[in-house]
Amino acid sequence: MIEEKKIDEKRQGEILSIRSKSKTLATKKMYLESYGCAMNFSDSEIVASILQDEGYSTTKEIENADIVLINTCSIREKAEQTVRRRLKNFLKIKRKKPELTIGILGCMAERLKTKFLEQEKIVDLVVGPDAYRELPKLIKELEDGRKAVNVILSTEETYADVIPVRLGNNKVTAFISIMRGCDNMCSFCVVPFTRGRERSRDPLSIVNEIQNVYENGYKEVTLLGQNVDSYLWNNGLSKKEINKLPLQNQKNNINFAKLLELSAKKCPNIRIRFSTSHPQDMGDDVLYTMAKYKNICKYIHLPVQSGSSRILKLMNRGYSRDWYIDRIDAIKRIIPNCGISMDIITGFCSETDFDHNQTLSLMNYVKYDFGYMFKYSERPNTLAQRKYKDDVDEKIKSKRLTEIITLQQKHSLHNNKKHVGSIKEVLVEGYSKKSKDFLYGRTTQNTVAVFPKEDIKIGDLVNIKINDCTSATLLGNKY
């Protein structure tokens, strides 16, 4: 049954690729700009594919474009301000070229809906993350002189059959979405409102996409979801329906550990990463699968947000400090040398010095390899905005953030120093920012290494002898 379906999927893929090859010559140009998380970058590749079938090719020169699309992020106030500033730049271009179409995609489109058209007069098109298939129709509406909006969220859309047009700068690493939306409702987070309910994508379409990128020369994929540990597939049923099935039918469930195994076995020559893990849902089965397959990278991004159980409860994270520590211990036990990173929010509603010190002490316990650290930014309509007061003074937020960043830099340096003198396998991704004589790549733990180019090519998997490091980078030579 599974085999039959697989062949169907493959055929579907082949038919799609033939269709895109034989489509009419591209006559119009689209310029796509993405902000925010990897999911947004991956979505832009889906958008490029949908519009390519309509005769659009991509351009990196905004002046040459017929349509400019900005894929936006709402996660923090600052992210939205960046987009608004960018729109002001587009205004200058639109003045010179009034026929240029400007469209807003992604989370800001979903959050602000028609308000966008009122606030930002130069915007013609507002399309939410689940409505990208409607883009061709919406563009036609524009041609009829109407501004167009579609922000309807779906409980089913996964774009499983769309073959993304790869827009990334290197031809080495690719993003693959395995699910969409989020059901977690963390009290600070806008994502459940902008990306809707969680739904998982057909595993066979995922494995086929991994195989397809491998055949196209890529060396690494990152499987994307807001909470990959919550991935669950059983014949396209919703999670609610799956949970109601008799136990014997649940044997066919494919959870994240099984999806990883399926992918690692089917595509043994490609490196597999994933993001983001959730402490509440990350089970030992995922860790054992990671330990078992060499091609699954030994790296876990496990956002903690706070080291205080009281704050975690207010954040509605679904776990306590002790639970999180237990998950860290499990990683260290099952996958020694696993790279671990985090997200931390500082200055959440009612956070005291005691709570902040709890975060610092948790960091001292885990000693993360690196992290993404933010000041709390209140988001409209979230539970925190409705129920709690954003009452930590901005200066205190900044001071705590500095302390957290300083401590993380110390830990990153400490961890990197441990690698000095060892030999690391590195997948080469591109030229170092500082010099064309140097290349950079990543170890399985996701640490960046920089080394002289010599005869190494982008896309090679090379052994690098690590001679030195900074808090952010390993420095070495081909071994």
Q: Contact positions toward ligand 5AD, by CB under 6 A? A: 75-76, 188-189, 303, 305, 343, 345, 374, 376-377, 379
- The structure tokens 């595509």 sit at 267
From the CB of 372, what's the least distance to ligand 5AD, in Å?
Answer: 7
By the rule CB under 6 A, 72 interacts with ligand SF4: no
Nearer to ligand SF4, 180 or 321 (CB): 180
Answer for which of 189, 282, 345, 426 binds ligand SF4 (CB under 6 A) is 189
CB 286, min distance to ligand 5AD, A: 18
With respect to ligand SF4, which residue has the nearer C-beta, 101 or 226? 226
Asked if 260 interacts with ligand SF4 (CB under 6 A), we say no
Query: If contact means CB under 5 to 8 A according to the sort of partner, which of ligand SF4, ligand 5AD, none does residue 227 touch?
Result: ligand SF4
> Which listed option, ligand SF4, ligand 5AD, none, makes contact with residue 345 (CB within 5 to 8 Å by class)?
ligand 5AD
In contact, 93 and 31? CB cutoff 8 Å: no
Cα–Cα dist 237/240, whole Å: 8
- Least distance CB 68 / ligand 5AD (angstroms): 26
Closer to ligand SF4 by CB, 283 or 421: give it.
283
Of 205, 227, 234, 341, the one binding ligand SF4 (CB under 6 A) is: 227
Residue 132: contacted member of ligand 5AD, ligand SF4, none (CB under 5 to 8 Å, by partner type): none
Closest separation in Å from C-beta 324 to ligand SF4:
14
The interface with ligand SF4 within residues 267-286 (CB under 6 A) comprises: 278
Binding at 184: pick from ligand SF4, ligand 5AD, none (beta carbon under 5-8 Å per type)? ligand SF4
Q: Considering beta carbons, is residue 229 or 261 the nearer one to ligand 5AD? A: 229
Given a contact cutoff of 8 angstroms between Cβ atoms, the answer to whether 198 and 246 are in contact is: no
By C-beta, is 55 or 380 nearer to ligand 5AD?
380
107 binds ligand SF4 (CB under 6 A): no
Of 63, 68, 61, 98, nearest in space to 83 by CA: 68
Please say whether the beta carbons of 447 and 192 come within 8 A: no
Choose, by CB under 6 A, the member of 48, 107, 138, 182 that binds ligand SF4: 182
Place of tokens 């059983």: 234
On whether the CB atoms of residues 119 and 109 are closer than 8 A, the answer is: no
Distance of closest approach, residue 36 Cβ to ligand 5AD, in angstroms = 9
Distance CA 291, CA 288 (A): 5
Q: Closest CB to ligand SF4 among 128 and 192?
A: 192
Residue with smallest beta-carbon separation from ligand 5AD: 343
182 binding partner (options ligand 5AD, ligand SF4, none; Cβ < 5 to 8 Å by kind):
ligand SF4
Select the binding partner of residue 376 from ligand SF4, ligand 5AD, none (C-beta < 5 to 8 A, by kind): ligand 5AD
Q: How far is the CB of 47 from ligand SF4 (least distance, A)?
A: 21
Note whether 430 and 459 are within 8 A (CB). Answer: no
Minimum CB separation of residue 278 from ligand SF4 in Å reads 6
Footprint of ligand SF4 (CB under 6 A): 182, 184-186, 189, 191-192, 226-227, 278
